[in-house]
């Protein structure tokens, strides 16, 4: 039931990166050729402060650029927030929504995440919607139930494989060096695939499902080799060009 899907390697820089880091972004942008990008898409999501300068830097590169969050409204009195329109105005094409750090730090609910994804779609951005269980939820055998609830409430009805990517990021695997067993990732992704097909029909078959949580150059090949894993959402290991490029190479080596 797996369809041919172009994988996506996405880097989430979180609250890291200053103008000095542009050398890393430039190195990544220059390393990826258009022919490679037809096989595996590459995306960087720097902090909002670097968004515009990054898209300018990537003008001649197939490296896509996105943001890490957006507000659910188009404009207005929301001090400190940025809208999906503003991201598009900076030539960003993706936005991450519902990352567990935002759900935790800003008490974001799945309903809010859905509104943000809808705002992203309205601005012609692709939304990367993050879901994932905590350690306590996994230990209580709640993983699939948690994913089901998050998908149900976070993914807009009109989502398509073009405007939406789902990232499975177990909260306990983020930044900890702990990675689920391949069978655990396969189980979660297989559930996500069938749930999306049930909800969205055919488009659910080709929607990309990323894995995120302590992915690095040493485990990238094994992770993207798991069934229904269509790429990675990488935090720490995306900050250095040499690591990002190594992971990109691992994705490219996957049999088509
Ligand atoms: P790490 O790769 O640093 O574990 O972070 C994963 C993540 O949260 C990406 O969004």
Is 213 near ligand 1, meaning CB less than 6 Å away? Answer: yes
pTM of the model: 0.98
From ligand 1's centre to the CA of 36, what distance in Å? 24
Per-residue confidence (pLDDT) for residue 255, from 0 to 100: 78
Alpha helices in 155-214 (DSSP H): 182-200, 203-206
Give how far Cα 72 sits from Cα of 3, 16, 65, 168, Å: 32, 24, 20, 22
Atom of ligand 1 nearest to the CA of 14: 10
The whole-angstrom separation of Cα 48 and Cα 255 is 35
Domains and CATH numbers, the chain: 8-252 (3.20.20.70)
Atom of ligand 1 nearest to the CA of 99: 10
What is the length of the chain? Answer: 256
| Structure confidence by residue, pLDDT tens digits, 48-88 | 999 999 999 999 999 999 999 999 999 999 999 999 999 99
- ∠ CA 75-71-84, nearest 5°, is 75
Structure tokens that stand for 123 in this block: 């601005």
* Residue 110 confidence (pLDDT) above 60: yes
Per-residue confidence (pLDDT) for residue 3, from 0 to 100: 65
Is 236 near ligand 1, meaning CB less than 6 Å away? Answer: yes
Structure tokens that stand for 189 in this block: 């992704």
Q: What percent of the chain has pLDDT over 70?
A: 98
């Amino acid at each position: 039931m797996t369809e041919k899907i172009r994988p996506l390697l996405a880097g989430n820089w979180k609250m890291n990166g200053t103008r000095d880091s542009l050398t890393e972004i430039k190195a990544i942008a220059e390393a990826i050729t258009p022919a490679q990008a037809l096989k595996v898409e590459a995306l960087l999501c720097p902090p909002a402060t670097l968004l515009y300068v990054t898209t300018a830097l990537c003008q001649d590169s197939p490296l896509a650029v996105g943001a890490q969050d957006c507000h659910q409204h188009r404009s207005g009195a929301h001090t400190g927030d940025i809208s999906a329109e503003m991201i598009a105005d900076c030539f960003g094409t993706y936005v991450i929504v519902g990352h567990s750090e935002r759900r935790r730090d800003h008490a974001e609910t799945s309903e809010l995440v859905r509104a943000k994804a809808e705002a992203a779609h309205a601005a012609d951005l692709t939304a990367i919607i993050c879901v994932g269980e905590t350690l306590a939820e996994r230990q209580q055998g709640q993983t699939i139930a948690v994913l089901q609830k998050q998908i149900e409430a976070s993914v807009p009805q009109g989502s398509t494989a073009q405007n939406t990517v789902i990232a499975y990021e177990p909260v306990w695997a983020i930044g900890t060096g702990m990675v689920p067993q391949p069978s655990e990732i396969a189980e979660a992704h297989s559930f996500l695939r069938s749930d999306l097909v049930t909800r969205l029909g055919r488009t659910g078959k080709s929607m990309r499902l990323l894995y995120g949580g302590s992915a690095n150059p040493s485990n990238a090949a094994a992770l993207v080799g798991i069934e229904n894993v269509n790429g990675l959402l990488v935090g720490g290991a995306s900050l250095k060009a040499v690591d990002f490029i190594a992971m990109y190479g691992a994705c490219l080596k996957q049999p088509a």
